[in-house]
C-alpha cells in the first residue's frame, strides 16, 4: 500500500451528508471530502440512514431486504442508492468515478421527523439503538453489494460503533462468513468532542457485543456507555478537523473528559484541517448572489451588501459596516456571552456602534427569544430565526465582517467561507479558527481578521469595536485584508491528500488485536 498510486475502497459511515441531511458542518465536510477523494481516483461510497425527510422517489431501491443482526435478533431494512452530485448541494451528478450513496431504510428507527431529535424530544431516547443498528448495517451493506472496503471511515459518535464492530468481530469474520473485512482498517473522525453519545449502559445490549468488550473497549463512563470513547479506543487511527483543535483536545480544558483517552492513543491521533467545497462556496459563481465578484472586481460584493440590507429591512447604506453571523444557537458558539439576557454584548454593540448586525440561525429557545427581542428593540439588529441556504450565502457575500465568538471550534467552516468571500472574520483564537485566521496588526496592516483570546462579553465588544474602528479609520487595510483572504486556498484537495496518507498509514500498521466475539 506504499505507492501513492494505490486506489483505495473507502466507505464513509455518517449520520449526515449534504444535500440529504444536515444539522451542521459535518454534513458539508463528509460530502466534500468524499468527492475530493473520488477526484483522486479512490472508490468512495457513503452509507447513511434514510431519514424520513429524504425522498425515496429520487433514489433507486436495491433488490431484496437486508437483515441486520441486533440484540440477539435481526432487524430488516431496505437499501436505496443514488450518486452524489458533483456539487453536493446541486443536481449535477459526478460522471467520472461517482461517489455512490447508500441509504439504510428502517421505518421504526428513521421514519420520523428529525435526525437526532425534534423539538419535543431533542435527543431521541432510542438513539443508541438507532445508531447501533446503523453501524452494524454498514457492514451488512458491504455484504449485500459484495464490496469490501480497505477503509471504513466513521464520523462522530453516531458512527463510532463502526470501528468497534470491525475490531471485535468483522475483521476476524463472523459466523460462517469469514475474512471479508480481514484487511479493512478503521478511521474515526471527531468533528465535535462536545457530542459523545453517552447513554445508559443497558443500551449496550443492542450491539450484541459481550460485556467483556464493553470494558475492554473502554465504553464505561462513570457507569454509563460512552459511544465515542469506545470508538476512539478501537479505531486504527483517529483524527479531528484541525491541527490546533487536536492539540487543544489533549488538555482538560478542551478534552471534554476524553483528553486522557486521546492522549493514550498518542500518535494515532492527529488533526487535519477541513477544506471548503469551492464549487458551492465561490463568489465567482454563487447563484444566491445578485452578481458574481472576485478579488479583481468587487462591484458584485457591493450589490450583495445592498441586497442583504434590503432583505433584512435595513437602510441600504454602503458606508455602514454590516456584521453577519450564522450559527446553531448552542453554548459552543459563544452565544451566552453575546446574547445572554442582561449580560450579553450584542445589545451594547448595536447600541453604541455605527454598524448593522444580521443574524441567521436557530437552536436554544432562550437565545431565539432573546434575539427576537433584540430585533424588536434595536433598529440596526435584524435576525432570521430558521435555516436558509440562500440567506447564508447572501450573508457571506453581503456582510463586511463575520462574527464567530466560539467557546470552542473544532474547525469551523463559516470563517473560511467568509475569507474567500472577502468578509473579514471576527473570531475567538481557538480551534480551527486559530488555524485559518491571522489577526490584524494595525501597525503593519497584516492579517486576515480580528481575534481575541478570552471569551467574555467585553472582549467580544472590544474586538467588534476594533474592527469597526478599522472600517472607519483604516480603509486601505480593510481592502488589502479582504483581497488577502480571498486569495486563500481552502480547497479540499490538500486535506484529501492528508486523509489519503492517514488511510495508508493505518493500512501499513499491523491491525491491532481482534477478538471474535459477535
Ligand atoms: P457547526 O458544524 O459546529 O455548526 P461549522 O462552521 O462547521 O459549524 O458549520 C456550520 C454549517 O452550517 C455552515 O455551512 C453554516 O453556514 C451552516 N448553517 C448553520 N446554521 C445555518 C442556518 N440557520 N441556515 C443555513 N446554514 C446554516
Ligand atoms: C463540527 C464542528 C465544526 C466543524 C464541523 C465539520 O460540527 O463544530 O467546527 O467545522 O464539525 O467538521
- Which ligand is nearest to the Cα of residue 22, counting in written order? 1
Provide the whole-model pTM: 0.94
pLDDT band at 511 (very low <50, low <70, confident <90, very high): low
pLDDT for residue 134: 98
- Which ligand is nearest to the Cα of residue 244, counting in written order? 2
Q: How far apart are CA 86 and CA 45, in angstroms?
A: 14
pLDDT for residue 6: 83
Decide: 392 in ligand 1 pocket, CB within 6 A: yes
pLDDT for residue 180: 87
- Lining residues, ligand 2, CB within 6 Å: 24-26, 29, 191-192, 241, 274, 409-413, 432
State pLDDT tens for residues 232-253: 999 999 999 999 999 999 999 9
According to DSSP, the residues that pair with 299 across neighbouring strands are none
Q: How far apart are CA 378 and CA 190, in angstroms?
A: 39
Ligand 1 centroid, distance to 392 Cα (angstroms) = 9
pLDDT for residue 86: 63
State pLDDT tens for residues 68-126: 999 888 999 999 999 998 655 554 566 789 999 999 999 999 999 999 999 889 899 99
pLDDT for residue 1: 43
Closest ligand 1 atom to 192 CA: 3
Q: What mean pLDDT value characterizes the chain?
A: 94
Give the residue, out of 411, 416, 427, with the most ligand 2 atoms within 8 A of its beta carbon, to mutate for a pocket test: 411
Q: Which residue lies with its CA nearest to atom 5 of ligand 2?
A: 25
Closest ligand 2 atom to 274 CA: 12
Decide: 275 in ligand 1 pocket, CB within 6 A: no
How large is the average pLDDT for residues 127-141?
Answer: 98
Ligand 2 centroid, distance to 142 Cα (angstroms) = 28
As a dihedral over the C-alpha atoms of residue 421, residue 425, residue 429, residue 433, rounded to 10 degrees, the angle is -20
Residue 109's φ and ψ, nearest 5 degrees, are -90, -40
* Contact between residue 78 and residue 66 where contact means Cβ atoms under 8 Å apart: yes
Closest CA to 192 of 346, 411, 345, 395: 411
pLDDT for residue 172: 76
State pLDDT tens for residues 327-342: 999 999 999 999 999 8
Closest ligand 1 atom to 333 CA: 3
pLDDT for residue 119: 82
Higher pLDDT, 85 or 297: 297
pLDDT band at 179 (very low <50, low <70, confident <90, very high): low
3 state SS of 484: helix
Ligand 2 centroid, distance to 29 Cα (angstroms) = 8
The HSE-up count of residue 360 (CA atoms within 13 Å, CB side) is 19
pLDDT for residue 71: 81
Asked whether the predicted pLDDT for residue 360 surpasses 60, the reply is yes
pLDDT for residue 514: 46
Q: Which residue lies with its CA nearest to atom 13 of ligand 1?
A: 25
How large is the average pLDDT for residues 489-498?
Answer: 94
Ligand 2 centroid, distance to 462 Cα (angstroms) = 26
Percent of the chain with pLDDT over 70: 94
Asked whether the predicted pLDDT for residue 3 surpasses 60, the reply is no
Ligand 2 centroid, distance to 309 Cα (angstroms) = 28
Q: Which residue lies with its CA nearest to atom 14 of ligand 1?
A: 25
- Which ligand is nearest to the Cα of residue 288, counting in written order? 1
State pLDDT tens for residues 465-474: 999 999 999 9
Domains for the chain: give ranges and CATH numbers: 9-275+493-508 (3.40.50.2000), 299-489 (3.40.50.2000)
pLDDT for residue 111: 96
Asked whether the predicted pLDDT for residue 436 surpasses 60, the reply is yes
Closest ligand 2 atom to 189 CA: 12
Decide: 25 in ligand 1 pocket, CB within 6 A: yes
Q: How far apart are CA 512 and CA 504, in angstroms?
A: 15
The C-alpha angle with vertex 315 and arms to 310 and 321, in degrees rounded to 5, equals: 100
Ligand 2 centroid, distance to 330 Cα (angstroms) = 13
pLDDT for residue 87: 57
Other Cβ atoms less than 10 A from the Cβ of 302: the count is 14
pLDDT band at 515 (very low <50, low <70, confident <90, very high): very low
Other Cβ atoms less than 10 A from the Cβ of 429: the count is 14
Ligand 1 centroid, distance to 324 Cα (angstroms) = 13
* Contact between residue 31 and residue 84 where contact means Cβ atoms under 8 Å apart: yes
Q: How far apart are CA 224 and CA 435, in angstroms?
A: 35
The C-alpha angle with vertex 244 and arms to 241 and 250, in degrees rounded to 5, equals: 95
Closest ligand 1 atom to 361 CA: 23
| Consecutive H or E run containing 299 | helix 299-311
Ligand 2 centroid, distance to 274 Cα (angstroms) = 9
Q: Which residue lies with its CA nearest to atom 1 of ligand 2?
A: 191
How large is the average pLDDT for residues 132-149?
Answer: 97
Decide: 205 in ligand 1 pocket, CB within 6 A: no
Cell of 512: 491491532
User: 216-227 as b/e, with b when 16 or more CB fall inside 10 Å?
Assistant: bbbbbbeeebbb
DSSP code, position 68: E
Higher pLDDT, 242 or 511: 242
Give the residue, out of 156, 281, 326, 360, with the most ligand 1 atoms within 8 A of its beta carbon, to mutate for a pocket test: 326
Q: How far apart are CA 272 and CA 265, in angstroms?
A: 16
pLDDT band at 5 (very low <50, low <70, confident <90, very high): confident
| Consecutive H or E run containing 104 | strand 100-105
* Contact between residue 447 and residue 481 where contact means Cβ atoms under 8 Å apart: yes
Asked whether the predicted pLDDT for residue 143 surpasses 90, the reply is yes
pLDDT for residue 173: 64
* Contact between residue 421 and residue 300 where contact means Cβ atoms under 8 Å apart: no
Q: Which residue lies with its CA nearest to atom 19 of ligand 1?
A: 327
Amino acid at each position: 500500500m506504499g505507492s501513492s498510486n494505490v486506489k483505495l475502497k473507502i466507505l464513509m459511515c455518517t449520520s449526515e451528508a449534504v444535500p440529504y441531511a444536515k444539522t451542521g458542518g459535518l454534513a458539508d465536510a463528509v460530502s466534500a471530502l468524499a468527492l475530493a477523494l473520488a477526484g483522486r481516483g479512490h472508490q468512495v461510497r457513503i452509507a447513511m440512514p434514510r431519514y424520513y425527510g429524504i425522498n425515496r422517489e429520487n433514489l433507486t431501491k436495491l433488490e431484496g431486504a437486508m437483515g441486520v443482526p441486533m440484540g440477539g435478533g435481526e432487524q430488516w431494512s431496505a437499501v436505496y442508492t443514488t450518486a452524489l452530485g458533483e456539487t453536493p448541494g446541486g443536481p449535477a451528478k459526478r460522471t467520472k468515478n461517482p461517489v455512490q450513496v447508500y441509504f439504510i431504510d428502517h421505518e421504526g428507527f428513521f421514519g420520523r421527523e428529525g435526525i437526532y431529535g425534534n423539538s419535543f424530544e431533542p435527543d431521541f431516547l432510542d438513539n443508541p439503538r438507532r445508531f447501533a443498528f446503523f453501524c452494524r448495517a454498514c457492514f451488512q451493506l458491504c455484504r449485500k453489494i459484495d464490496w469490501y472496503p480497505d477503509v471504513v471511515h466513521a464520523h462522530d459518535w453516531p458512527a463510532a460503533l463502526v470501528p468497534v464492530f470491525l475490531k471485535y468481530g468483522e475483521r476476524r469474520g463472523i459466523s460462517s462468513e469469514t475474512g471479508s473485512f480481514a484487511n479493512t482498517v478503521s478511521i474515526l473522525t471527531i468533528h465535535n468532542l462536545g457530542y459523545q453519545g453517552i447513554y445508559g449502559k443497558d443500551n449496550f445490549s443492542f450491539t450484541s457485543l459481550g460485556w467483556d468488550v464493553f470494558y475492554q473497549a473502554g465504553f464505561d463512563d462513570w457507569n454509563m456507555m460512552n459511544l465515542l470513547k469506545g470508538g476512539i479506543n478501537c479505531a486504527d487511527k483517529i483524527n479531528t478537523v484541525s491541527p490546533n483543535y487536536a492539540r487543544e483536545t489533549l488538555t482538560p480544558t478542551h478534552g471534554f473528559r476524553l483528553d486522557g483517552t486521546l492522549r493514550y492513543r498518542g500518535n494515532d491521533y492527529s488533526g487535519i484541517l477541513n477544506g471548503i467545497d469551492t464549487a458551492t462556496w465561490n463568489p465567482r459563481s454563487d447563484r444566491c448572489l445578485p452578481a458574481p465578484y472576485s478579488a479583481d472586481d468587487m462591484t458584485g460584493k457591493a450589490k450583495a451588501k445592498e441586497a442583504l440590507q434590503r432583505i433584512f429591512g435595513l437602510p441600504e447604506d454602503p458606508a455602514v459596516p454590516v456584521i453577519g453571523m450564522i450559527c446553531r444557537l448552542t453554548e459552543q458558539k459563544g452565544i451566552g456571552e453575546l446574547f445572554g439576557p442582561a449580560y450579553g454584548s450584542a445589545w451594547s454593540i448595536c447600541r453604541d456602534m455605527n454598524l448593522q448586525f444580521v443574524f441567521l440561525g436557530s437552536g436554544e429557545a432562550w437565545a431565539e427569544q432573546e434575539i427576537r427581542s433584540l430585533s424588536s428593540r434595536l433598529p440596526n439588529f435584524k435576525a432570521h430565526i430558521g435555516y436558509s441556504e440562500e440567506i447564508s450565502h447572501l450573508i457571506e457575500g453581503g456582510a463586511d465582517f463575520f462574527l464567530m465568538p466560539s467557546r470552542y471550534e473544532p474547525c469551523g467552516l463559516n470563517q473560511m467561507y467568509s475569507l474567500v468571500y472577502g468578509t473579514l472574520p471576527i473570531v475567538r483564537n481557538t480551534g480551527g479558527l486559530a488555524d485559518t485566521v491571522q489577526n490584524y496588526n494595525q501597525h503593519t496592516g497584516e492579517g486576515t481578521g480580528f481575534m481575541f483570546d478570552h471569551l467574555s462579553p467585553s472582549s467580544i465588544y472590544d474586538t467588534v469595536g476594533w474592527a469597526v474602528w478599522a472600517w472607519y479609520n483604516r480603509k486601505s487595510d480593510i481592502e488589502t485584508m479582504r483581497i488577502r483572504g480571498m486569495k486563500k486556498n481552502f480547497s479540499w484537495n490538500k486535506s484529501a491528500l492528508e486523509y489519503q496518507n492517514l488511510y495508508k498509514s493505518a493500512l501499513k500498521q499491523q491491525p491491532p488485536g481482534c477478538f471474535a466475539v459477535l
